[in-house]
Chain A
Amino acid sequence: MTAELWSRIRDVLHELLESAPEARAKILDRVAATDPELRREAESLLAEEAGASALDCTVGSASLNVDRAPARVGAFRLIRQLGRGGMGVVWLAERDDGQFSQQVAIKLLPPFYTDPDMEARFRRERQILAGLEHRNIARLLDGGISDDGQLYLVMEYIDGVPLDTWTRERSLDLEGRLKLFLDVASAVSYAHRNFIIHRDIKPGNLLVTAEGQPKLLDFGLARVIDETAPAPAITQTALTMLTPAYASPEQIRGERLTAASDIFSLGVLLYELLADEHPFAKAGQTAVEVQNAVCQSEPPRPSRVNGHLDADLDNIALKALEKNPLRRYATVDALAQDVRWYLEGRPVSARAATFWYRARKFTGRNRALLSVGGVAVLAIALALVAAVRESRLAQHRFDDARKLANSFLFEFDDAIKNLPGSTPARSLVVKRASEYLDGLMAESRGDRPLQMEIADAYQRVGAVQGDPAFPNLGDSKGALASSLKALAIREALARADPSDSRLRLAIASIHQQISDVLGFSGNIAGAVEHSGKALAIYQNLSASLASDPKLKLELVIQTCNHANLLRSTGHLDEAAAEYRRAVEISQRLVEGDTPDKEARFYLATSLDGLGYVLQEKGDTAGALQNRQKGLAIREQLAASDPDDAHFRRELAFSHHNVGLSLVESGDPASALTHFRRELSLFESLSSADPRDVQARRNRSLAHKQIGDVLMRNGDVSGALDQYRKSFDIDRALSSADPGNAQALLDLSFSEGKLGLALGESGHAREGLALLRTGVARQEALLTRDPNHILMYGHLANSYTRMANYLGASGDHKSAIEFYRKAVAARLRLSEKSSASSSNRGSLAECYTNLGKALAPNDVPDALRQYGKAVELLEPLTLADGANAQYRIALAETLATTAGLYARTASGEEAGSRRLQQWTKARAFYERSRNLWLELDRSGKLPAAGSRSLSEITRELAAIDDSVDRLERVH
């Protein structure tokens, strides 16, 4: 082009630009008439209007960027920049190779790659990521290295807004937010199943489309960058690229990552969706401050921030945000399931305090092996793959591992299609996992972080095999072997570096797991030993890190765990001692400089535990005292935070426990006050949240408890009313969740109780039918889960009720049969579990009942049964001076025995035989009278007792009379 031509073109362009678009064609035609070339040039330049506006930069707005963007990448033309971040610059681009038009997002990665192996690694990762196909994941379409050496990734272009903006702008309600979260979780879970960890989940990486569909961007990109970057200089770069507010503690510390890290980030996301506030970061904080907060501070319960939230949601979010990866949800699916269950109004698996969770699993929990779904398997697969992906092992090893882990998952998936009865699948899991970890371990020499990871994987495998605290495969032996391997690795590592306190905590955690496994498989001594070792580690650590109140609190929890184990295995004295220690430590924390609610919470927990074990030991006075102390603290906690459902629930439990001790100490009137208080708390909890199944169940339990006390006081119609309410709740709960064994058991209880009360109030047929239904229900439950030993106790009670009922209606033969069944069930229970005093008391009652039923027709057998009852009861009354119940039972049994001897005496022909029987009768009456008098002195003589007392006085006089007459005759 010449200057002359340009000058002419310029004039034409001036004219064109200043005229309206419709006039332009005319001008161009005029120009063409004289100079066709001029027209061509003008037209072509005019077409640049859009591009030229890019150059119309406003003063001060232009900046220079070091990164060079090529105009094209592969088959794509870059259109405009969409954003930039630590991971590079993202461009909107368009396919313009003429094949088809497609808008994509292209990410140009930061240019710091010099490693010759880089390209291969980059391609491998890219290929893996390209395999991810999920409706909530922005797809990776292509990627490569441009001619000028720039790495790029081509991704599906998402026209959406960041998640946080979306929820804010649409003022989305809770349900909408949780559903959005579930979509995100399903994307992450899908990726985890494909062995990809996201590593950078945050609102900025989550775009919501106009249809409300969230799309997760940049899957595994952090990994690509890490993997592709020349180590180690870049690690730091990669770290600083992360957003610390969403990174997990282990990520901030620069450790190897597992899927648990993504679960943490999801937890942050969930927390923000719930509370509209970040759990750790506050405005104006520096990155370092945020990092510290993530690693150290505990976020407030979301419900403290947003008062409308349920405690279950608190628990879910906080469980995902546990600092210790092992304490988080094992998988994203488990997290999502809890959220889904919350939305469906079902109870969630997350529990506020480990203590209660742990405590429960030794008590009445249904131990049926939970179905072994993908959850458990994934836990293994992910632990393995995480270990492998993070390892710096040779390439072939990496590929092998991936292949193995893949086959692991898919073979297993196929195998479990034929559930139930998945034995082949089980052995496959265990075999593969163990082989694999053993192989990896052999190659890991000297690689400390990898060995730690392998130990984690062994622990996980062990948990899946048979930790009763989790859904498991029921393979206790395998679980023990895997757990011991984890222990051995960690102990070796600890020998090399004894100062690593986190490692020592990990050792404590594996000891706890071993203890759980041993306890479940019946090795009580072993269970206690390992639980004690876990506790010792906490004790040592908290002694050496005396200033750490968090650790002290952990020590309290661990002490309570150990005490629970001791208690449930019959080591009542040791258990009491541990609870006392827990009380002492938490008491000091409460009195310390920074007393917090948590310390008071655990003080109450420890006191309650102590009360429980004292009651079981038979120290009713001690039990009552400690339970009342716990109650007072929980009153304060609930008053200080009236909206906290959790505190109110705990308070209700305290009322229940105090009520129980009051019943034991013979004060049913005071007990009733507490049970009624308990009931009203649960009523308000369940009306505040009608979906709270647990609150409804507790309401039903309180009705039963009140009914029992009324029944015992002879108020049958009052009791009937309570039992009916309980029955209605239980029936509704069970039909809402038909597979739930606990709900079925609850229903069987209310059937039994209601049936009995109906019988007492003159509805014999109805009552018997209900009793039979209840008994059959429990027998079915025991068949379903023979390991549920506590079911024997329930059955014994049901048999007894049944027998009482049959006896009262005149069917003595059937009554005796059921009493015998009750005795047999109680005996099975004392065989299987260590003999607790309450079971021995109940067994005595069964013998007495059987004896009474036998007495009319078979005196010797009846006396034998009474004898057994007395034999059991006497030591119990001696051991527990404050327990009125055992004394009452013993006094009654002694009087009944005496009565039977007196009756047989009058049947004897021979005078000497008669005298002998009278003497025995007198001795038994006297023992009974002494007990009644003793009860009277302590103000605990029941109405039946005073009746019995006057009867005894009459009987003794009659015996004296008869003996006198007999002696006069001789």
Chain B
Amino acid sequence: MADSKAALDDMAVLVYEELRRLARQYLSRERTSHTLQPTALVHEVYLKMLAQYSVDFSNRGQFLGVAASMMRRVLMDHARTRGQAKRTPGLLIDIAETKQAPVDLLDLNRALQQLGALDARQEKIVEMRFFGGMSIDETAEVLGLSPATVNRDWATARLFLSRQMRGDSVADQ
């Protein structure tokens, strides 16, 4: 188990580097769309890791959990660098299917950190769902919880995040 944990930590570095490289490529100015699909990216990295390092993760979910966390870091790095260049920080999370207003990544991150201070498990659930594109079942499996619990935590987490982020934007004005 300890070995496995160490392997994961080592792997996290690799995953982080790989994600960062891909993200830079996707978000570069030379591309017209300026968009990336974080979840697709995470899966891309997963496949690459399997092929390149023949790492044996106990399961795909475990990897995704790590990758989601790394993905969040990559995106945050990107948002901050852009922020320095552009006076205002900001990456936008655009949720095509729901037709809802896109979410500002920095706002989300701030709210997520606040949630994490109250309940780390909920932060992790959101991270895995959001940045790793993991399903409720996958998340439940990796965290050793029942899907019903994950579902409940996910629902209340979203209420919290939504209120925090609105508060942020009002405070911004």
Binding site for B on A (CB under 8 A): 1-3, 6-7, 9-10, 13-14, 17, 44-46, 48-49, 51-72, 78-81, 91, 111, 148-149
Known contacts A10-B156, A17-B155, A54-B100, A64 near B95 by CB under 8 Å: no
Residues of B within 8 A of A1 (CB): 118
In order of increasing CB-CB distance, the 10 nearest A-B pairs are A68-B90, A54-B100, A71-B169, A66-B34, A52-B158, A51-B162, A65-B92, A148-B88, A48-B162, A6-B118
Best-surrounded residue of A17, A52, A63, A80 (most CB of chain B within 10 A): A63
Asked if B102 and A149 make an inter-chain contact with CB atoms under 8 angstroms apart, the answer reads: no
Interface residue? B3 (CB, 8 A): no
Bound Cα distance from A44 to B159, whole angstroms: 9
Residues of B within 8 A of A14 (CB): 152, 155-156
Residues of A within 8 A of B169 (CB): 70-72
Q: Quick one: closest A residue to B78, CB to CB?
A: A64
Residues of A within 8 A of B89 (CB): 68
Asked if A69 and B102 make an inter-chain contact with CB atoms under 8 angstroms apart, the answer reads: yes
> Can you spell out 11 A-B residue pairs with CB atoms less than 8 angstroms apart?
A6-B118, A7-B119, A46-B159, A49-B159, A56-B158, A62-B94, A65-B91, A65-B102, A66-B91, A69-B102, A79-B101
Bound Cα distance from A46 to B39, whole angstroms: 29
Asked if A64 and B38 make an inter-chain contact with CB atoms under 8 angstroms apart, the answer reads: yes
Q: Quick one: closest B residue to A52, CB to CB?
A: B158
Residues of B within 8 A of A10 (CB): 119, 153, 156
Residues of A within 8 A of B160 (CB): 6, 45
Interface residue? B172 (CB, 8 A): yes
Asked if A60 and B40 make an inter-chain contact with CB atoms under 8 angstroms apart, the answer reads: yes
Bound Cα distance from A6 to B121, whole angstroms: 13
Bound Cα distance from A60 to B159, whole angstroms: 22
Known contacts A51-B166, A57-B98, A64 near B92 by CB under 8 Å: yes
Known contacts A44-B163, A54-B162, A149-B87, A64 near B96 by CB under 8 Å: no
Asked if B36 and A80 make an inter-chain contact with CB atoms under 8 angstroms apart, the answer reads: no
**Majority DSSP secondary structure for residues of A touching B:** mixed
Bound Cα distance from A68 to B152, whole angstroms: 31
Asked if B34 and A65 make an inter-chain contact with CB atoms under 8 angstroms apart, the answer reads: yes
| Chain B positions 126 through 152: 1 when the CB is less than 8 Å from some CB of chain A, otherwise 0 | 000110011100000000000000001
Asked if A45 and B40 make an inter-chain contact with CB atoms under 8 angstroms apart, the answer reads: no
Among B39, B82, B172, contact of A59 (Cβ-Cβ < 8 Å): B39
Interface residue? B52 (CB, 8 A): no
Best-surrounded residue of A6, A7, A46, A59 (most CB of chain B within 10 A): A59
Interface residue? B25 (CB, 8 A): no
Q: For the side of the interface on B, what is the size category?
A: 35 or more
Known contacts A48-B162, A63-B36, A69 near B100 by CB under 8 Å: no
Q: Quick one: closest B residue to A148, CB to CB?
A: B88
Interface residue? B84 (CB, 8 A): no
A17-B155, A69-B102, A81-B99 known; 5 new pairs, CB 8 Å cut-off, are: A14-B156, A52-B155, A62-B94, A62-B130, A68-B90
Bound Cα distance from A48 to B89, whole angstroms: 25
Interface residue? B12 (CB, 8 A): no
Q: Closest Cβ of chain B: how far from A772's Cβ, in Å?
A: 78
Bound Cα distance from A63 to B82, whole angstroms: 17
Interface residue? B8 (CB, 8 A): no
Bound Cα distance from A76 to B166, whole angstroms: 15
Interface residue? B161 (CB, 8 A): yes
Best-surrounded residue of B34, B96, B102 (most CB of chain A within 10 A): B102
Q: Which of B73-121 contact A (CB under 8 A)?
A: 75, 82, 86-105, 117-119
Among A52, A60, A65, A70, contact of B94 (Cβ-Cβ < 8 Å): A65
Asked if B91 and A64 make an inter-chain contact with CB atoms under 8 angstroms apart, the answer reads: yes
Residues of A within 8 A of B97 (CB): 57-58, 61
Asked if A69 and B93 make an inter-chain contact with CB atoms under 8 angstroms apart, the answer reads: no
Q: Quick one: closest A residue to B131, CB to CB?
A: A62
Asked if B36 and A64 make an inter-chain contact with CB atoms under 8 angstroms apart, the answer reads: yes
Asked if B156 and A54 make an inter-chain contact with CB atoms under 8 angstroms apart, the answer reads: no
Q: Quick one: closest B residue to A50, CB to CB?
A: B162
Q: Closest Cβ of chain A: how far from B44's Cβ, in Å?
A: 12
Interface residue? B59 (CB, 8 A): no
Interface residue? B173 (CB, 8 A): yes
Bound Cα distance from A64 to B35, whole angstroms: 5
Bound Cα distance from A2 to B119, whole angstroms: 10
Interface residue? B37 (CB, 8 A): yes
Bound Cα distance from A6 to B159, whole angstroms: 12
Bound Cα distance from A655 to B136, whole angstroms: 82
Bound Cα distance from A575 to B75, whole angstroms: 78
Q: Quick one: closest A residue to B153, CB to CB?
A: A10
Interface residue? B13 (CB, 8 A): no
Bound Cα distance from A69 to B173, whole angstroms: 13
Q: Which of B8-37 contact A (CB under 8 A)?
A: 27, 34-37
Bound Cα distance from A58 to B158, whole angstroms: 14
Asked if A62 and B39 make an inter-chain contact with CB atoms under 8 angstroms apart, the answer reads: yes
Asked if B95 and A54 make an inter-chain contact with CB atoms under 8 angstroms apart, the answer reads: yes
Known contacts A1-B118, A54-B101, A60-B39, A69 near B92 by CB under 8 Å: yes
Residues of A within 8 A of B101 (CB): 54, 69, 78-81, 91
Residues of B within 8 A of A63 (CB): 35-38, 93-94, 96
Q: Closest Cβ of chain B: how far from A2's Cβ, in Å?
A: 8
Q: Quick one: closest A residue to B152, CB to CB?
A: A14
Best-surrounded residue of A52, A79, A149 (most CB of chain B within 10 A): A52
Asked if B27 and A66 make an inter-chain contact with CB atoms under 8 angstroms apart, the answer reads: yes
Residues of B within 8 A of A80 (CB): 99-101
Asked if B96 and A59 make an inter-chain contact with CB atoms under 8 angstroms apart, the answer reads: no
Q: Quick one: closest A residue to B43, CB to CB?
A: A60
Residues of A within 8 A of B134 (CB): 59
Q: Closest Cβ of chain A: how far from B173's Cβ, in Å?
A: 6
Asked if B93 and A62 make an inter-chain contact with CB atoms under 8 angstroms apart, the answer reads: yes
Best-surrounded residue of B101, B117, B152 (most CB of chain A within 10 A): B101
Asked if B37 and A13 make an inter-chain contact with CB atoms under 8 angstroms apart, the answer reads: no
Asked if A148 and B103 make an inter-chain contact with CB atoms under 8 angstroms apart, the answer reads: no
Residues of A within 8 A of B130 (CB): 55, 57, 62
Residues of A within 8 A of B172 (CB): 70-71
